[in-house]
């Protein structure tokens, strides 16, 4: 997809969307060589930056904040999948596409890779072009895109919120789901708490974190048909 196609695609997506946790399109600028979209300004940076790039800001992101962010992003995806006339698959859910405002309210952004899905067609074929670490294993192998591909990527974001770890370490780029595999190796074991972010792990948050971890595990099921819908996740 070239820049002009991506630009047109994003305009089409955003003109029909109205949700408090999806970034608002203000307008566009056609006076540059490559057309530019103009969005509302979100001052807090990305979730990725806050979790992984700035230790002080990461500590400030409490479990209460992280749980609310998970709910807000889940509601935005549920809206895209189930509550508009023609469902939209985002196709690039990742923490760097989740913006945070000054109160850490989540705003989903970047619809350049998204696809409108006719109501009678539950999947589309497309080339794999998503971000390493978030790729649905079924999608990566078959190039068949369904709403459950977004569900899988959302599951990875849940793991980032739970653990504070990046999906893939730079030295492990051949391992497309290193955080997922690391999480699954601890899942159901007595020492499961060791994988959770110790900076926010407290006795009063343990049960909630375990519950969210179970939801993440369901989202990350290798079989897409076994994953919940985003409506069910929310």
Q: Which residues are catalytic?
A: 92
Dihedral of alpha carbons 223, 17, 86, 79, sign = positive
Distance between CA atoms of residues 216 and 30, nearest Å: 41
Among candidate residues 80, 107, 58, 106, the one with its CA nearest the CA of residue 13: 80
Distance between CA atoms of residues 189 and 204, nearest Å: 20
| Sequence-ordered alpha helix ranges (H) in 42-136 | 47-48, 55-60, 63-82
* SS3 track for 23-48: CCEEEEECCCCCCEEEECCCCCCEHH
- Largest Cα separation within the chain, whole Å, is 60
Distance between CA atoms of residues 29 and 101, nearest Å: 24
- Please return the burial class of 217, using the count of CB atoms within 10 Å of its CB with bins 0-12, 13-18 and 19+: middle
């Amino acid at each position: 997809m070239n820049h002009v196609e991506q630009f047109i695609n994003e305009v089409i997506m955003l003109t029909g969307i109205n949700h408090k946790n999806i970034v608002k399109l203000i307008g566009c600028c056609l006076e540059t060589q490559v057309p530019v979209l103009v969005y509302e300004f979100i001052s807090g940076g990305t979730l990725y930056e806050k979790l992984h790039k700035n230790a002080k800001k990461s500590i400030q992101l409490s479990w209460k904040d992280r749980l609310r962010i998970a709910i807000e992003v889940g509601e935005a995806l549920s809206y895209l999948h189930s509550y508009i006339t023609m469902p939209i698959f985002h196709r690039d859910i990742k923490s760097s596409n989740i913006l945070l405002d000054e109160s850490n309210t989540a705003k989903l952004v970047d619809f350049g890779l998204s696809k409108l899905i006719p109501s009678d067609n539950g999947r589309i074929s497309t080339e794999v072009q998503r971000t390493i670490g978030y790729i649905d294993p079924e999608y990566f192998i078959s190039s068949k895109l369904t709403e459950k591909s977004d569900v899988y990527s959302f599951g990875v974001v849940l793991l980032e919120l739970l653990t504070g770890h990046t999906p893939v370490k730079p030295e492990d780029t051949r391992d497309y789901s290193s955080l997922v595999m690391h999480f699954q190796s601890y899942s159901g074991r007595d020492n499961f708490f060791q994988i959770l972010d110790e900076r926010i792990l407290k006795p009063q948050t343990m049960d909630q974190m375990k519950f969210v971890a179970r939801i993440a595990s369901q989202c990350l099921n290798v079989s897409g048909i076994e994953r919940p819908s985003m409506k069910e996740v929310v």
